[in-house]
Every structure is written in structure tokens, then in C-alpha cells.
Chains A and B, each alone.
Chain A
Amino acid sequence: MNVALRRAAYLRRSSAMLGLLALSMLTAWSVMQPVRAAESKALPALELLQKMQHAARTLDYSGVYTYQQGNSVMSTRIVHVVDGTGERERISLLDGQPREYLRHNDTALCLLPEHKLVLKEKRDSERFPAVLFDEGDRLPAHYEIALSNSMERVAGRSCRVLTLEPKDSLRYGYRFCADTESGLPLRAQTVAPEGVLIQIVFNTLEVGSKVAPEALAPSWNTKDWREVEVSVEEVDLASEGWRIPLPPGYHALKQVARQMRADRRVKQLVASDGLATISVFIEAYAESGNQPREFGPMRKGAVNFYRKRIGDHWLTVLGEVPADTVRDLAHRTEYVPLAVP
């Protein structure tokens, strides 16, 4: 074999290796970031919050958790394994329609057995047991964060209570119980002035080497299923003339154009203060079709809505936040179409 050829083979191998390496380093790096932010604040409670986030991404765990809101209860099994390729996760809904959700890093598949359909999407957003939507470094400005010294017991494990009281009325409070051993949140509650609004609680949890990677295998053989890519396209609402003044502490996480139902395309802006989230939907106003006609303030479960017409558009603002937050945002939003030269 001549030298040039050998060199080429070497280079190819190293670049493939570098790719894998870069991937793993990226994962490692991104999980280090929140921890660094915590140190600058020197807040043990915030550190625990960030430890919860870190644990959710980097540990192997499996268990069943229950989501409870109003009268609805839904249980979910989760398996999370980190291997040389990154994060793998399998989430199965245990109540209602069977659904499985398989994630490998930012590629997620949603399995719908009754349709023999796989929905494939790119996703970089967080799900329980991850609780933060950013580094969490803005939280102290908008919440009183307190760490309780008392221990509680959830899913047969001991955990430490962490509370976040909102400093204004633009967001709800949060209460977490973090596993003493792993840091994972065993319980996450959204607390409105009138009481607990939403809670997610682990019923069973195994951490570490007890988690079998085989448990990541889906329940169904999806070989003959149809696979559909759910596409979302990045957009910039500001450049289209939308002025959406977010409430203090909230910042935009993403802005996308996406399909909603067969014949409707909507633009969605997702904003968060680190814990609370708001979505703003904008779509063309249609005289007919299956577009909802409701407007004004509405509430469905823990979600507050505010819907209004702005010119030829429907504006729908919603989130697990107080009613005034979505109303004010809807009222302040303006559409200033750019002049066509």
C-alpha cells in the first residue's frame, strides 16, 4: 500500500473518530454549563436545581411517573440510558391510547400503533425529569429559591424539598423534591396561589446499573410502519413585522412554522423564564375551515389562553402561567407589516 493511500485511510478513520468524540464532548460540555452558572451565584438551592437537570440528562434511570392535573391522571414509564452515543430514552404511556416515544439525542420517534405510524422529529427541548429550559441563571431574579432542611419520602426514596416562590404575579411557584442519592427530581409541582396545579411524581425509580439497556427496545416491531417526518421550520417573527414584548424574565426559546391539522399552518414562538413556558401562535385568519372561533380569555386545565384577532391573523397566547400573563402579552402584541418598497 502506498504512503498516500495509507495516509488517506488514517485521515478518514480519525475524522470519523473525531465526529464521535465531538458528539460525546458536546454532550459533556452542555451538561457542565449549568453547574458553572450556579457557582457564580453561590446559591446552594440553585445548585441543587441544576444538579437535578444534570442528573436527568446524564444518569441511567428507569421508572414510572404519574402526571396529575385536576381530575386527570396519566402514568408514564421512562427508561433513560446514556451510552457512548449519547442519550437514549424510551417513554411509554400506560393510560389511554398506547404510545411510545423513543429518543436518541435530538432525534425523537413517536410510535402510534393503531395507525402503524412513526412520527419522526428533531427535538432539543426538555422533558420531565429535566425541569429547566435554560441554564436557570435568571431564576433568582424572579423567584425566591429556598432549600428546605427537612427530608421527604417519595417512591421509597428520600428526597430534599426545594421551593421557588415567584417574586411577581407573572408566573406560578414550583416545588421540587430531589432524590438525595441521585439528584433526580422525584416530584415536581406547579403551585398556583390557590394550590397545587400540576404535579408529576415518580412512583418507582431505579438508578444506575439496575437499568437494563434492553428496556429501551420498543414494544412493537415498526419495520412495516409508515414513517412520517414532522417538520418544523425556523422563522423570525420580528422580521415579519411581529412585535411580541415578552413579560419580564421570559426569553424566546424558539420560533417555528409548523403544521397544525391538515390544512392549517401556524407560527409558534416558545418563551420561558427557565421554568414557566408560554407559546404564542400566529396564523392567517380564515373565514371558513376548522379554525377555532373562540376568543378572549379561556382556561383548559392548568393552561390559560388568550385569543384575539389582529388584522388578518389569529393570535393565540397560552401557557401554564397566570391568566393575566397571557392576556397582557396578547394585548401588547402588535403587527407592523414592513413596507413593501
Chain B
Amino acid sequence: MQATQQQEQEQKASLEASISAWIDGEADIRPEDLDTPYGRKVWDTYHLIGDVMRSEELAIKPSDFLYARISRAIDEEPAIVAPHVQPARRFARAGLSSLAVAAAVAAVAWVAMPYLTASEEAAFQAPVMAAQEAEGLYDYVAAHRDFTGVGPIRQVSFEVAGGDR
């Protein structure tokens, strides 16, 4: 079974490479390979990436969790059997300016990290710590639990140094 899984991994990798080539019109599509849940997902994801990269509208303001919702929508989508290659796509893609590519890449990164809004840059290299209610030893427990999963997260309260202290 170990060997089987190894094989599966390799097949997945080559399937991804093939799908990439199919989307680029660089190889003939093998519909029977594409018609698996994984194959369809990769196909859709690659097109999604391509779409985002080509369209500046998409690249500018995706809402939070756009990716999560799209991903979910794709999962719920009924199976698409044997999509057709559109040779015209190739030229459309080739017309993409490098600026648009850069913008799109930035957008993808932004979607990936929606929380990291441009908040006020923390000018102080902050020692953030201090449990008010607990004696010093509790600090060690909190630090231990930062790295070990058993137990609630961060139930100590925090102060920013230079603030209340």
C-alpha cells in the first residue's frame, strides 16, 4: 500500500502538469483523465487562477473568503464532463501585460491573507506579555501552551510594554 500511495502522489503530480499543458493548449486533452473529482478541481482551480490574472477587476477587490466560497461552490458544482479546448484562449493569455500579471499575483497573495490589513505599523518591537492575574509561573505555562496543543489558547491577558506598565 505504501507503493500505491507513492504512485498516487506521482500520478497526481503528472496529472497537474498535464492539466496545465491542456489549459495552455500545449497538449491534447484526455477527458478520461480529467473526469475525476481531483482532475476537475485542478482544472477549475487553474482556470480560476488564469481568470484572476487576466482580469484587473477581479484582481482589485475580492471580498474576504472569496477563495473559500469559490472553492465550496466548485465542490458543489455538478460534474463537468470533457470540457473543450478553446484555441483562442492562448492568444488572449498572451496579450496579458506583465503589469497585470504583477497586480494579479499581488491580488492572489492578498486573498490568501485577508486579515493582514494595512493597520498602523507597529513601530515598537513589542514585548507583548504579562499575565496580570497570574503569578510569574503562569507565564511559563502560557509559553508552553503556545507550542503544545492541549489546553485552551491564550487565556492570559496581555499588556503592551510601555502602555499600562
Contact = CB atoms under 8 A, between A and B. Distances in A.
Contact of A101 (B105, B108, B113, B154): B154
Contacts of A320: 148, 150-151
Interface residues of B, number: 77
A222 B165 contact: no
B25 to A, nearest CB: 12
Of the listed residues B5, B16, B104, B153, the one surrounded by the most CB atoms of chain A closer than 10 A to its CB is: B153
Interface residues of A, number: 104
A305 B143 CA distance: 13
A16 B108 contact: yes
Contacts of A32: 5, 9
Given A93-B153, A222-B117, A230-B128, A35 B5 contact: yes
B150 A112 contact: no
Contact of B143 (A216, A222, A262, A281): A281
Interface of A: 1, 5-6, 8-10, 12-14, 16-17, 20-21, 25, 28-29, 32, 35-36, 39-40, 67, 69, 74, 76, 81, 83-85, 88, 91, 93, 96-97, 99, 101-102, 104, 107, 109-110, 112, 114-115, 117-120, 123, 125-128, 130-131, 133, 188, 190, 198, 200, 209, 213-214, 216-218, 222-231, 253-254, 258-263, 266, 268, 270, 272, 277, 279, 281, 290-292, 294, 298, 300-301, 303, 305, 316, 318-320
Interface of B: 1-2, 5, 9, 12-13, 16, 20, 24, 45-46, 48-50, 53, 64-65, 67-72, 75-76, 93-98, 101, 104-105, 108, 111-113, 115-117, 119-122, 125-130, 135-141, 143-144, 146-155, 157-162, 165
7 contacts: A69-B151, A74-B152, A76-B153, A93-B152, A97-B155, A213-B69, A217-B65
